Every structure is written in C-alpha cells, then in structure tokens.
Structure 1
Amino acid sequence: MASISIKNLVKKFGELTIIPGLDLEIADEEFVVFVGPSGCGKSTLLRIIAGLEPSTSGDLFIGDTKVNDVPPSKRDIAMVFQDYALYPHMTVYDNMAFALELRGMTKAEIDQRVRRAAGLLHIEPFLERKPKALSGGQRQRVAMGRAIVRDPKVFLFDEPLSNLDAKLRNQVRTEIKGLSQELKTTMIFVTHDQIEAMTMADRIVVLKSGEVQQYGSPEDVYERPNNQFVAGFIGSPAMNFFDIRRSGEGFSLVGASDLAAPVPAATLAVLAGAQDAVLGIRPEHFIHAPEDSRAFAVTIDLVEPLGSDTLVHFMLAGVKTVARVNPELRPKVGETLKLAAQPGKPHVFDKASGEAIR
C-alpha cells in the first residue's frame, strides 16, 4: 500500500487558478474524503492524483515515488467514476477481469480475484449478466469490483454515489466503508455531501477555492471548525450565525440588543478587546428551557417532523434560525417556544476574517 504526499501543488487553466498552492499528507491505509462546494477543486485534485490531469507546478508522491510525469497506468491506482464506465457488451465477470487479462495474468488467478471481489460486494449471482440487466446500485458495485481486483496501492472514488437514490446511497456508502476496513488500502473519496464525508472518513479535507480550510477527523471538523466556512458547511442543517456586539461585560445579539449572546466563558476571556464578532449555534445545540431566564422566546414559523427529532424554524434577532428539538414537544406553527443554547456549545468567529476564536 502507499501514502500520498502533495507539496505546493498548483493547477491553472489558462489565467484561472483552480488550486493556488496545496500541501497535503495522506497516510498509508487511510480513508480520506475531499469535501466542498461545487467548483472548490476537489475533483480536479483527484484527477491530478490519478494522472488524468497534469498539475501546473508542485510535486506529487505516491509512497516514495515522485509521480508527476508517471502515466496513470503506471501509478498503481484504481479509480471508480460517477458514471460507472462499464463495457456494455461484456458480462460482469468480463468487465471485472478485463484489466487483469491485459496484464497477462493466468485464468486461474483472474478467476480467484474476480470471485473474491464479487464475494466482498455480494454480486456473485450477477457475474454472467450484462450491465443493462443491473440496477444502479449493482452497476456501482461492479465498478468497485473492477477496481478491487487490481489490488492497487490507492483507490480513488469520484462522487460514486451521486447517481443512486437515497436508500441505495446509504447502503453502498456502508459497503465502501466496510471495504476500506477489510482491504486496508489507502482510499480517497470525493463528494459534495458532508453527511457522506462525516460517516465514511478517517479524516476529512474541507476545500474552498482550491485551498484546504481544515484537515482532520470528522469529530474535529464538526466540534472544532477552523472558521465560519467550515462551521457552516459541515453539519445538517447548517449552523445558525448571529452578529453579536459588546454589551457591558458580555455580548448581545445585534438586532435584539436585549438578548444576551451565550458566549462560552472561556471564549469571552479571549474576546476582551473585541467589539463585534459572530456567534454560531448548531440546530442540535438548542435545548427546550421553559424555566431558564436566559432562554430565547421564539415564535415558530415552520415545523419539519423527521421522526427521531423535529426541526423548528423561527426568526431570532432578525435571522432565520433552525433548531432540532425532541418530537415529544409536538411543536406547532404560531406557538411560542423557549429555547436556550447548551452551555459551552456555541462557537465564536472573528467578524472580519471568519476565523474561529477559542
């Protein structure tokens, strides 16, 4: 297997800079997810690692080998694409065996590898079918099986779940995570879906405009976001943000100066010289607190029952806000609800730079 090292990588298309200078270290056997909005450079970065796109400058190492000028076929990587890219005239077995035949492997070794991969992916009954006779989820498993049989140093996944329905996405996502644990191979997965990133990754790379905003475990990225962009991108529904302003020894919400901002005490000490900042509260960090004098009295505008919990929408200090509450509250539109922020949970960001203040 192999680690991946990227040093000062730059990618330009003409005068347009997509990746301005990126450094990244991915450990051997690690499952890393690139996540970010459309146009952030995540698929371009993956294609550069695969050798399908040249970098403008910088160095790329797979293991100890510099691969800047190494063609894709020599990098010992396998890539799973969004559109499956199966040969329609070949059976599932032949699709998975084709690359091994080109390598000149014996029929016995090819058969062993294909059947092992089919077993891992539960597609043994489909080996004699052609792709048109398969569902989308089955085709995606075949595409994954074609990558697995090659036994590469690195697996690359380019948004492989985006063509699947919600149920299949969850199922295949679980299978890919299980495969990573069983195969113990370095894997890079590209997605714009932060839920996929959170549930699958050992570490997440959050990208914006070709720059790494944060690189860490799902827990770190969720609980300790580096900046307001990461805080707003990771988490569903997104974090609520409020402008806050100095008021005596503490802060109040801009737009509702009579409401004290629940800034954590440790953060308040760091904010000694600041007059303005941004407060972030995740929907799940609101609690129903009818007896708390510091709670916000809000009027419910919209209710979204989700079964295990309920989302309520309301205006707070002129900001459209979402809170996740216990469904046993049975909230109704037009009702007043008293909500408080869980102690120590709110985040504070610098007003100008967006950087987290801790």
Structure 2
Amino acid sequence: MAKSINFVFLILALLAFAPLCLCHVNTFGGYLYPQFYDRSCPQAQQIVNSVVSKAVAREARMAASLVRLHFHDCFVKGCDASILLDSASGIISEKGSKPNKNSIRGLEVIDEIKSELEKQCPHTVSCADIMALAARDSTVLAGGPSWVVPLGRRDSKGASLSGSNNNIPAPNNTFQTILTKFKLQGLDIVDLVALSGSHTIGNARCVSFRQRLYNQSGNSKPDPTLDQSYAATLRTRCPKFGGDQNLSFLDLVSPTKFDNSYFKNLLSFKGLLSSDQILVTKNQVSFELVKKYAESNEVFFEQFAKSMVKMGNISPLTGFKGEIRSNCRKINA
C-alpha cells in the first residue's frame, strides 16, 4: 500500500515539473507542440518571420507560394519536407512532378531561413517546421488569420515522385476525386472548402485553366459554369495555343489580400480553376460552406486556421524518425 502511495506521489511530482504545452496528437501518430523550440532555439519563429516578411515585401505573390509549398509537401508522405529534396542517389525529386514542375516557388526563401537558423541554432530546426511557420506567417502578412503552429516535425530521408503526381489535387479533377484525396489525408469536406480559400491570393498558369476556356468537356466548348464576360477576359491572357506560363490572378477582386472574396467570386461563377468552381456546382454541402464563408470573413478565417493546423499535422516524423537536415535540399551525409 505504501509503495502504491509513493508511486502516485512520484507521478504527481513529475507532472508538476513537466513543461506546460498544448500538445497535438496526430491521427496517424506523433506529438507536436508549439513550445518545441522554446529552449533549444527560442529565436526560431522570429527568424522565420523576419525572412518571410522581407520576401513578401519584395514580391506579394510569395505569400501564396509559401502556403502552396506547405500544402504540396503535406499531401505527399506527410509534412516532412520531402518536396525540398533535389534529385540525388536514390532520390527522385518531387519538384519534377506534374503539380510542381515550372510552378513550385519559394524554395530560395526556405533556403535563406534555414541558413539563418543554422547560424543561430545548428542542427535544431527542421525544414518541415520552417515550411509550417512560413505558411502561417505568409497568411498573416497577406491580411489573413494567425494560428499557433504545433512544432516538432523532422525531415524525411526520401521523396516520392509518384506520391506527388497522384496525391495532390489537380485543377481539372472531379469533385469526388479531390474529396477522396483529402479524405486519404484525414481531412474532410470542411477542410477542403476552407483550404481552397487560400486561392484568395496568388496566381495560376494558363495551362491550369485553358481547358475551361476552350474545351471543358471534349466538345470544343467553354465551361458553361464560367461567367462568360470573365471568360472573355481570361482568353486575352490565355490563348488556345501557347502561353502556358501566362499568369492570371486566382481572385480577380483582391488578388494580394487574404479575405473571403474568393468565395464571393465562386457564387458569381468567377472561380478561375475548375477545382474552385465545382465547390459550388457539384456538391450541396460544399455549396453551403461556400455561402457561409462568403457571408462572413470571420467564420472563414476561424475555419481556415483550424484546417491549416490539421493539415500541418498529417503524418509528421517525430522522435527519432527522419532527421534534421542541415541543408533542406539534401539529406545529411
């Protein structure tokens, strides 16, 4: 009996001195918590924010690029910085996949952040955590919501080109295909609609939406769900042949401001990508969510923050899994 009492007191004593943290347990296993670097690299978040702020000040589009980089990483093998790896012995880079080739951006910003962190806290902050923080800071700098980022991810020692080609939702995927890709990551229809709201900033290439303008269903006719005056404007930037890399704003109303105008555009049938517009035309639940977010910027911001935390916790490498890369582009020697 005495031993049992002593054991209880020991547990209570350990809990009393344990650091307080709001730990997040991922569906797929692993623990992340916001205070992860409080002792090992207390200036980590400040360094990330400083570099991201300068990058977005130089080019407003970079905010969207850094959010997209985090998204494209998490949907392949989890949030493990696999997208940053260059091709090397035994590694085929995800940068050459269809969703990333000629479009993935922000790599130099991540390199700059990593370089600064290695000077201050060598071998401490993972590239995966850098991307999670950069996505949050980019959103805030564009006028969007903030959220507390759970930390403690480690970096993968490999990449998956096939995963990048198959897991990331494509502009011309059907609604059900996109929803299935989200569900495979532990995300639901609410996350799908809220995270699509990141298209309130940034650009898309002509090759991503040309089909809607000229041959949506293989009948040489434009997408009937696209506002025709808007379509005419888009055709001046995106010809039937050539101009694949020509850019158009994802949100024609406030292209550099993070707000809910993206959802208002969808209700006016002025979503740029097919994957945007089908949120209104192909599913009643997603349509109701679009209306909800179009009516309230605050409601959209609140859900976007929740869904970003949820996405950022897809299959993290923790503990002794993976590594902390010294250079985000290659595994440690």
User: Which structure has the highest helix share of the two?
Assistant: 2
- Could you state the TM-score of these two structures normalised by the residue count of structure 2? 0.25
Q: Which has the larger radius of gyration?
A: 1
Higher relative contact order, chain-length normalized (CA < 8 Å, sep 6+): 2
- Could you state the TM-score of these two structures normalised by the residue count of structure 1? 0.23
User: Which structure has the highest strand share of the two?
Assistant: 1
